[in-house]
Structure 1
Amino acid sequence: MNYTKDGVVVRLKYNKCKTLLFLSASVGTFLFSSGSYAKEYFNPHLLETTETSVPPVDLSLFSEESVPPGEYNLDVYINGAFIDSGTIPFKLMGKGGSDDASVLPCLTIDQLKKWNVAVDNYPDLAKGSDSCANLSAIPESTIKIKMANQRLELTFPQVAMLRSARGYVPEEKWDDGINAGLLNYNLSGQTSTPRNGGASTNSQFVSLQPGINLGPWRLRNYSTYNHDDERQQWDSVYSTISRDIRALKSQLTIGESNTTAGVFDSQAFTGAQLSSDVEMLPDSMQGFAPVIRGIARSNAEVTVYQNGYNIYKTTVPPGAFEINDMYPTGSSGDLHVVVKESDGSEQSFIVPYASLAVLQRPGQMKYAVSAGKTRASDSRVKEFNFIQSSVAYGLLDSTTLYGGFQQAEDKYTNLLIGTGLNLGTIGAVSVDVSQAWAQIKKSQTAEQTDKESGQSYRIRFSKDFPQTGTDISVAGYRYSTSGYYSLDDFTDTYSSYDTDYHFYNAGRQRNRFDATLSQNTAYGSVNLSLVSEAYWDRSRTDSISVGYSNSWNNISYFMNYSYNHNVAGGSGSGATNNDSTVSLTVSVPFSIFSHNPTYSSINANYNVSGSKNGPTVHNVGLNGLAFDDNSLNWQVQEGYTSDTRKTSGNVNASYQGSKGNITGGYGYDQYNERFNYGLQGGMVAHSGGVTLSRSLNETVALVQAPGIQDAPINGQINIHTDSWGNAVVPYVRPYHENMVNLDGQQMADRDADIENVTKTVVPTRGAVVRARYQTYLGYRAMMTLSYQNKPVPFGAIVTSANDSTDGDMSKSNIVGEDGQVYLAGLQDKGVLLVKWGDGSDQQCHVNYSLNPQPNEIAIVAAPCVQ
C-alpha cells in the first residue's frame, strides 16, 4: 500500500478462507494552521522494549506533524468541496533554523487562482519560497492532510474565496482530450419468407458515424447504406468540422448542419454557424429560474422548496439578499422560500415560477448566426444562399426579448420579434410575430415570380399546477396569413416536380394547435397529447392521444385512445384517411408470486388493441432481464387475431456488452416468417491502439489502466477494461466534472495494485478525454524485515522498483510493528531499499525472492543488510 501518515493498514485476503489480517500502526492524524504549527516531541525509544543494537528510528518528521518531503497523488478539497486531484509536492519550508521549518504542501499562485481563491487580496502569498505560495498570508486558513484517504483538505475563510455560481468549473480544467479517431456503427437486417410460397426477401441497413479529433477540432460524418433485393444506395447525410470558442461560450460548426431551433424552425444548410453553448455555463446558470429576493434580520438560513422537495439552501448575513443561481427544474411548481433567523423564528414567502425555452436569466444572452446554402433532401428543390441569426436576451427578472432575421439572396426576407414572460401564478408564456417577404414561382414553367408578403403569429405557454397535479408542458397556437411563406415553403416553390399543382397548393401551414398535458389524481395518471394543423390548400391533420395509467398491488395497467385524421390534398381528390385505436396493457411482475431473485426481473404482460380500420389483436408474453448485471434483455410473445382467428409470435433478445450490443429475433404471422438481427457499437483509435466500445455519445472518456484486464467500471452496465487495460465510458457530460471509477473491490483478488481508483475528467464538447490510472503489476507480499537480527525499526520507509508502462516507478511503504510491511507490485526477484534516517547506519537493503501462488499474498521473512 502507499505511504500513509494517518496509519498503515495491511489487508491480506485469501481466496479460500477469506481471512482478513489487519496490521495498524497509527502515526496520528494531524491538523495544523498555516499561521502556527505545533511541534510536540515523541520519544522513539519508548517503542523499544528490549535492548537492541538497531539504531533508533528517526521520527522527527512525524513529531513535527508533517510528512516526509516528496510528491503525493492527492484529492484536493477546499471548505469540504472537491476541487482537484493530482500530484502535490511537499517541501521543507520556513524561516530561520530547523526548529522553524515544517514540511508543507507547495501550492503555486496559479493553482490557488484555478481553485477560485482570491489571491489578489493577499499580496503576501507571493512571499513564499521556491515558487510556493505563503499560505500563512491568509488568516484563519488551515491545512489538513489525510494520507490514508489521499486527501489534502484546505480551509479558507469565505472572504478569501471568489464567489462563483454553483456547478461552476473553471475553464482551466476544461480538457480538449487526446487526438483520436472515432467510429459509431449500426447494422440491422431482416430476412422475410412468405408462408404461402414465394421467394424470400432480404434487406440491410448500415449507418456509420466516423470522426477525428485533433486538439480542439472535431471532424464528423454521418453516412448510411441501404440494401435490398432490388437496389443499394450510399448516402452522406452530413459532414462537419467544429470546435468551441471559449471566449464567446459558443460552438463554431462548418459544413453540413442544421440551424438551431427555438426562434425559427430548424433548417438544413451547408455553411458555417456560430451559436451559444449552454453546457459551458454552470448548471445553476442554465435555463431559466427566477431571482429570489428577501430580507434577513440576522445571520439566517434560507431554504427553498419546490413541490415539497428541498432544492436549495444557503446562509445569508443580515439585510437584503438575492439568490440568482437557482438550478432550473423545468416547468415545475412555485418556489416556497423559508428564512430561518438565528433566534429560531421563521418567515416564508412564495415566488411564482414557470419555465419556457425562450426565457433567459437577467443579463444572459443566447444567440446563433448561420450562413451558407440551404440544403434539401430532395434534389428537385433549388438551393439558395442564405443567412440567419437569432438572439434571446434576459432583460428583466421576468421578461426576455428575442428576435431573428432570415435572408435568402434577394428573393426572401423574414423578420421576427417576440417576448417571453414569467407571469407567476398564471404561467410562462412567449408571444412572437414574424413578417416575411418572398418572390415565389407559381408555375414550374413560369420565368417571372410573384411577390408575396404575410405574417405569422405564435403563442406558447407552459405551467405546472401542483395543487391540482396538472402539468401543461407545452401548449401553443400559430396562425399564418395566406401571403406568409416560411423559408422551407419558399424553397419548395423553386422545384422541378412533374406537375404545377405543387406550386399552387404547397401544403403551407395556416394554423396549428398543439398541447401536452398530464394530470395526476388519487386514481391514476391521465396524459393528453394533441396536434391539429390546417393548411392553405384546404388539407388538415389531426392527431389526439389520451392515456390513463395506474397500478394495483404492483400490477400496472395502461389504457390509451388515439385518433388520427388526415385529408390527402396532394392528389386533389380530397379522400379522407381516418383511423382510431383503443388499447389496454396489463403488466404483472413475478415478484408478487415469489421473492426468489431469479424471478425479480420477469414480467408477464397482456395487451389487446382494436382499431376502426383494422382487426382486434390479443398479445400475451413474458419479458425480463438476465445475468448479474442485467445485460441481457429478452422477450417472448404470442398473439391472436380475433377477426381472422390467426396466431402470431415473436422471440427477441438483446445483449448489452462491453464492446457493443447485439440483437436478434424471430417472428411469424399468417403472412410471413421473419428473422431480424442487429449489431451496434463504437470504437476509439488512439496512440495505445484501438478500443472497442458500445455506441459512443458525442463526448467520451478513455479509461487506461495498463495491465489491468477485465476490471469493471463503476456506474456502467457491463463495461470492463480489455486485455490492454483500456475501456471507453461512452457517456460523459461536456464542461462538467465527471467521476470515473474503477471497481477497487475487484483488485483484492489480483496480483496488481492501482493508485487512486477515482479520476475526475472535464471534457470539452466532442472530446475523447483520458482517465489514466497508475498501476503496479506484480506479486503482493507481507514481509517481516530484520536488521542485525532485530526487527527493522517501526516507521521505516520501504521503497521498491516497479516496472510499469511509464518506466520504473517508486512506491513507498511504511514498516509496522515487528518489522512487518505490506508490498504490492513486486517482481519474483528484486531489491528493496529500507530507510529510517539519514545516517549510513539508518539504511539497508533487502534482496528478496518470491514464489507465491497466483492471486495470493506471499508471507516472507527477509534480512536487511547494508
Structure 2
Amino acid sequence: MSHGKQFTWSYLALAVMIYCAPAWADEEFDLQALGALTPLENSETLQNFIDNNALHPGTYLSVIVIAREEVDKRNIRYVLSPDRKKLLPELTKADLRELGVKVDAVPGLRSLGDEALVTDISQYIDQASYQFDIHSHQLTIRVPHLWRDAQGMATVSEKYWDDGLPALLLGYYYSGSRDRDDKSGTSAGHYFNLSPGLNVGAWRLRNNSSYSEDTGWQTMSSWLQRDIRTLKSQFTLGETWTNGELFDSVQFTGAKLETDTSMLPYNQQGFAPTIRGIANSDARITVKQNGYTIYQTWVSPGAFEINDLNQVSAGGDLDVTVTEADGSEHTFTVASASVPVLQRAGAMKYSLAAGRYRSSSDSAYAPDFAQATLVYGLPAGLTVYGGALGTNRYQAGLLGMGKDLGTWGGFSFDVTAAGAELGDRDGKSRGTSYRMQYAKNILATNTTLTLASYRYSTAGFYTFQEAIDHQAQADDNDDFYRYRRSNNRRSRIQVNLNQALADWGSIYFNAWQQDYWDLDGQERNLSAGYSTSWLGMSWSFNYSQTQTPNSDTDRQLSLNLSIPLNQWLPDTSANYSMNSAPHNTTSHQLGLSGTALENHALSYALQQSYSSQNRQYNASVSGNYHASWGQLGAGYSYTQESQRLNYSLQGGVLAHPYGVTLTPSLNGAVALVHVEGGKNVKVQYGQSLYTDYFGNAVVPWISEYRRNRITVNTESAENVEIPEATRQVVPTDGAVVLAEFASHVGARALVTLIYQGKPVGFGAMVSYGSNNSAIVGDQGEVYLVGINGDTPLSVQWGTKPDQRCTGLLPEPQLAKKIMTATVQCHQG
C-alpha cells in the first residue's frame, strides 16, 4: 500500500474512533481492526488516545446556541440517551425559559414545575432537538420559531454584564481651516472637542467640552454615572439633560435616575435623528443644540448625511448651519422627536430628575426644577403614560395613552397642561398642548414610516424652555432664530418616510414645520430624495427647502452620479454632481473618489467645480486616513479669489492595566483586545485595526448590554498562533471590557520525528514548551507552534519506560513562515 493511501486510511480510522468513542463510551473497541491500516507498533498508543478523548456522561462547560446565536456559556450535566447514541443535557424548565423558549405556552411543559428536568425536548415540542458537539462543547438547541421568545433572546442575562477594567479615557476631535481671500486676507478657524473620562468598577466619570472661535471654551457637561441593574436604570449626578420622550429635553445641573433603554429589547429603544442636507461647495457643517456646538465637520459639495451624533444630542431640536467656501451660510433645523410611546404588557419605563436649569447664554435666570415621567404597558397593546415638571414659576402635567395597532402600526396621544409666570408685564399664562404620534413599517410594500406626529398648543401654552426664554427676556438680534425667544409655538407637524422600490432603488421624504403665536409665517424644513443603481452605476436626486418667519425660502436641488472605474483604476469611481442653489446659482462638479492602501485605509477625492455665479471655477482634493491610532483628514480647495486648507484629527487615548493604547474612537463602550506578545495582529473590525507593539488594540462602538463577538486574524502577524480566535463580551454602559486571547508566540514548525531509524508511530503525544502538546500524524510528522530557541521535545506512545523518547528541535530560522525539520528521537 502506498504512503498516500496509508495516510488517508489512518486519518479516516482516527476520525471513526473520535466519532464513535462518545457514542459507545462504555463499550470496548477492537483495536486490532485497525492493525492493517495504521503504522502503530502496539495498540496501547491508540487505546491511550481513545481514553483521553472519549466524552463520557458528566458535567462540561458548554456554549449554548439558539437560532445561530450564542446565548449562554455555562456548566451543564449530560446523560446518555436511551439508545446510548448521544449525550443529552439536563436542563430544567426554568433554564429553557431563561434561554428564550416559551415553556409556559407549550401544552406539555405548562403543567411542569420550574425545577422539572427536560432532558429530551423533542418529547414536548415537535421538531425541537438538542445537539451537542463533542469537539467544541457547543450545545445547539433547535426550537421552532413559534415557541421562541424573540424579545427574551435579544437580551442578555445580567450575570454576564461586564463592568470592565479600571481605565482613564480621553476622546478628542479637532478640525481646523486656514482661509486666504484676495479681499479679506488670511483667517483661520479651529474647533476642538474633548471627552475625558474615568472608569472604576460600575462608576463612570465623564466630561464633554468644546472650543470654537465663536463661543470659546465651553463645558457642555460633566457627570458621574453608574447603572442600577435591578431597576434597569442609570443614575447620573452632575451636568446632564432630562429625558426628551414626553417633555422637551432640558440641560441642567443635578441628579437623575431613569430607565436605560439599551438594557431593554431592541424594539423598546428610541429614535435618533439623522441630519440630511445639501452643500454647494466644500462646506463646514456646525450642529448646535440649546446653544451649544455639539458637532462640526467638513463635507464635499452635494448631498450629505450625518448619523453619528453622540448621546448629548438625545432629545431636543438640532440647529444646523452650512458655511460655504465663500463664507455664505444657510441654516435649518432637524427635529428630534420620539416614536409613539409604547410598552409591552407589564413593562415600565420611568425618569426622575431634579436640579438647576443650565443655559448656554449668560442669562441670570436659572431656576431649580424637578421632573418625573412614567410609561407603563397594559394588556391588549395599551400603554399609559404621564409626567410632571415644575419650578416656583412654571408647572406642567402630562397624560397620554398609546395603542399597538398590530398590522396598522403604533399610535399615541397625549395632553399637556402648563401654567407659567412670565413677568410683571405679562402676568400668568395657562394653556394646553395636544400631541399625536404614529409609526408604521409596512412589510408588504417595504415602506417605513419612522414618525408622523402633530402637536397643537393653545395661545397660553408655554414649554419650559419657552417660559425661561420669555422670563429671561433674552433677545439677541444676531441670533438666526431670535423669534423663538419671544414667541411660543402654536402647531408643529413632522413626517419621516422611507420607501424601498425593489430593483428600482428607494426614496425618502422628511418634512418638519412649526409656527408661532403672534408671528406670521412658518419655520419649515423639507428634504426628499431618490437613489438607485444600474449596471454598477449609482445615482441620486435630492431636494431640500428651508423657510423661517420673515425670510425668503431657501431651496436647493442636487443630482449625483457615480460610475465605478474598477477595470482601469481599482476601488475608484468617477463622480458628477449638479447643485442648484438660491438666486439662480448652479454649480457642477466632476471628479474621482476611491480608496487605497491595505484594508482601504485611505479614502480620497479629487474634484473640479464650476459655478454659474460669476462663472467661478473651483478645484479641491481631500483625503482621510484610518489607522489603529485614529483618523486623519485633510483637504485643499481654491477658486480664482480664495484658497482654503482644512484638516481634522480624531481618536482617543486609553490608559488601562495593560498599558496605554491609542484608538480611533472612544464613544460608548469599547473592547480592549489583548494578545500577550502578539503585535500587529489584525482585529476583524473596521478598516485598519491592528494590535500595537504591546499586543493591545481598542475596538470602539460595541453594543452595550448585548453580545459582541471580537475576532482576530493572525495571518498578517508573524510567529503568532492563537488557538481560539473569537471572544464574546457583554459590556455595560461606557465600559472598557477585556477580550484576552491566549497565544503561542514563536515560530511554526513541521517536524518529522525519527526513532530507531523509523518514523514515530501515528497517535503518539508530543510535549514541548511550558504547557504545549501535539499529536503525531502519519509518517512521524507533527505540527508545532510557539517555538523559541532550542526546544526539547518529549514523545510518548505508552506508559512503559521504553515507550517514550526525547529530542531537540534547533532554533528555527525566523525568516521562514513555517520551518521544516527532522529530529532524531532517543530513548529516555
Tell me the TM-score range normalised by the shorter chain.
0.7 to 0.9
Deviation larger for 582-591 or 711-720? 582-591
Alpha carbons 1:31, 1:142 under 8 Å: kept: no
Distance 1:723 1:499, change over 3 A: closer
Distance 1:562 1:741, change over 3 A: closer
Number of equivalences: 729
Partner of 1:225: 211
2:49 and 2:131 mapped to 1: Cα distance? Answer: 16
Of the three residues 686, 691, 694, the one matched with 1:724 is 694
Amino acid aligned to 2:745: L
Distance 1:266 1:489, change over 3 A: same
Alpha carbons 2:622, 2:634 under 8 Å: kept: yes
Partner of 2:454: 477
1:777-819 Cα offsets, whole Å, 9 max, x none, are: 12222223344555433322212124xxxxxxx1221122333
Of the three residues 823, 833, 840, the one matched with 2:784 is 823
Amino acid aligned to 2:792: V
Say which SS state the counterpart of residue 827 (structure 2) adopts: coil
Alpha carbons 2:240, 2:252 under 8 Å: kept: yes
Partner of 1:171: 158
Of the three residues 815, 819, 826, the one matched with 1:857 is 819
1:349-385 Cα offsets, whole Å, 9 max, x none, are: xxxxxx9431111222221111111111112141122
2:446 and 2:66 mapped to 1: Cα distance? Answer: 40
Partner of 2:219: 236
Partner of 1:19: none
1:415 and 1:555 mapped to 2: Cα distance? Answer: 54
Alpha carbons 1:66, 1:104 under 8 Å: kept: no
1:379-401 Cα offsets, whole Å, 9 max, x none, are: 21411221111122221333211
Aligned: 1:455 with 2:432:
yes
Amino acid aligned to 2:29: Y
Higher helix share: 2
Aligned: 1:514 with 2:485:
no
Aligned: 1:278 with 2:261:
yes
Distance 1:79 1:218, change over 3 A: closer
Alpha carbons 2:18, 2:54 under 8 Å: kept: no
1:603-640 Cα offsets, whole Å, 9 max, x none, are: 221313131x4633333222222234222221222222
Alpha carbons 1:223, 1:237 under 8 Å: kept: yes
2:779 and 2:179 mapped to 1: Cα distance? Answer: 75
Aligned: 1:586 with 2:560:
yes
1:818-842 Cα offsets, whole Å, 9 max, x none, are: 3322111122213223233344444
Partner of 2:576: 605
Amino acid aligned to 1:30: Y
1:170-215 Cα offsets, whole Å, 9 max, x none, are: 221111111111111111111111124x541122211111111111
2:161 and 2:824 mapped to 1: Cα distance? Answer: 49
Aligned: 1:536 with 2:517:
yes
Aligned: 1:630 with 2:600:
yes
Alpha carbons 1:32, 1:143 under 8 Å: kept: no
- Alignment identity in percent? 32
Partner of 1:761: 729
Residue 727 of structure 1 and its aligned partner are, at CA, apart by 0.9
Superposition pairs for residues 336-351 of structure 1, below 5 Å? none
Distance 1:200 1:286, change over 3 A: closer
Residue 45 of structure 1 and its aligned partner are, at CA, apart by 9.2
Partner of 1:434: 416
Residue 88 of structure 1 and its aligned partner are, at CA, apart by 8.2
Superposition pairs for residues 613-628 of structure 1, below 5 Å? 613=583, 615-628=585-598
1:50 and 1:478 mapped to 2: Cα distance? Answer: 82
Distance 1:765 1:710, change over 3 A: same
Deviation larger for 163-172 or 216-225? 163-172
Alpha carbons 2:766, 2:793 under 8 Å: kept: yes
2:666 and 2:727 mapped to 1: Cα distance? Answer: 20
Partner of 1:42: 30
Distance 1:79 1:796, change over 3 A: farther
Aligned: 1:245 with 2:207:
no
Alpha carbons 1:57, 1:796 under 8 Å: kept: no
2:88 and 2:806 mapped to 1: Cα distance? Answer: 29
Distance 1:543 1:9, change over 3 A: farther
More contact order relative to length (CA 8 Å, sep ≥ 6)? 1
Alpha carbons 1:259, 1:267 under 8 Å: kept: yes
1:631 and 1:154 mapped to 2: Cα distance? Answer: 38
Amino acid aligned to 2:573: I
Say which SS state the counterpart of residue 60 (structure 1) adopts: helix
Aligned: 1:184 with 2:171:
yes
Say which SS state the counterpart of residue 230 (structure 2) adopts: helix
Alpha carbons 1:696, 1:730 under 8 Å: kept: yes
1:219 and 1:363 mapped to 2: Cα distance? Answer: 33
Alpha carbons 2:177, 2:646 under 8 Å: kept: yes
Partner of 1:833: 794
Say which SS state the counterpart of residue 466 (structure 2) adopts: helix
Distance 1:33 1:417, change over 3 A: farther
Alpha carbons 1:57, 1:793 under 8 Å: kept: no
Superposition pairs for residues 358-507 of structure 1, below 5 Å? 358-408=341-391, 410-424=392-406, 427-442=409-424, 450-464=427-441, 471-495=448-472, 497=474, 506-507=486-487
1:531 and 1:80 mapped to 2: Cα distance? Answer: 41
Amino acid aligned to 1:812: S
Deviation larger for 696-705 or 426-435? 426-435
Say which SS state the counterpart of residue 459 (structure 2) adopts: coil
Distance 1:484 1:758, change over 3 A: same
Distance 1:206 1:745, change over 3 A: same
Larger Rg: 1
Of the three residues 792, 798, 801, the one matched with 2:766 is 798
2:756 and 2:535 mapped to 1: Cα distance? Answer: 74
Distance 1:556 1:839, change over 3 A: closer
Amino acid aligned to 1:595: Q
1:513 and 1:163 mapped to 2: Cα distance? Answer: 36
1:512 and 1:532 mapped to 2: Cα distance? Answer: 6
Residue 681 of structure 1 and its aligned partner are, at CA, apart by 0.8
1:31-65 Cα offsets, whole Å, 9 max, x none, are: 6779x74423232695489999x765343354458
Say which SS state the counterpart of residue 769 (structure 2) adopts: strand
Alpha carbons 1:30, 1:144 under 8 Å: kept: no
Residue 67 of structure 1 and its aligned partner are, at CA, apart by 4.1
2:115 and 2:447 mapped to 1: Cα distance? Answer: 57
Amino acid aligned to 1:821: V
5+ long unaligned stretches in structure 1? 1-7, 11-21, 95-102, 126-133, 289-354, 444-448, 568-575, 803-809
Amino acid aligned to 1:862: Q
Partner of 2:18: 29
Alpha carbons 2:71, 2:156 under 8 Å: kept: no
Distance 1:89 1:744, change over 3 A: farther
Residue 284 of structure 1 and its aligned partner are, at CA, apart by 6.6
Alpha carbons 1:375, 1:383 under 8 Å: kept: yes
Amino acid aligned to 1:621: G
1:488 and 1:839 mapped to 2: Cα distance? Answer: 86
2:472 and 2:755 mapped to 1: Cα distance? Answer: 93
Distance 1:23 1:467, change over 3 A: closer
1:858 and 1:89 mapped to 2: Cα distance? Answer: 42
Alpha carbons 1:85, 1:760 under 8 Å: kept: no
Residue 549 of structure 1 and its aligned partner are, at CA, apart by 4.3
Alpha carbons 2:49, 2:763 under 8 Å: kept: no
Residue 559 of structure 1 and its aligned partner are, at CA, apart by 3.7
Aligned: 1:214 with 2:185:
no
2:499 and 2:133 mapped to 1: Cα distance? Answer: 53
Alpha carbons 1:785, 1:864 under 8 Å: kept: no
Distance 1:837 1:663, change over 3 A: same
Distance 1:543 1:75, change over 3 A: same
Amino acid aligned to 2:826: C
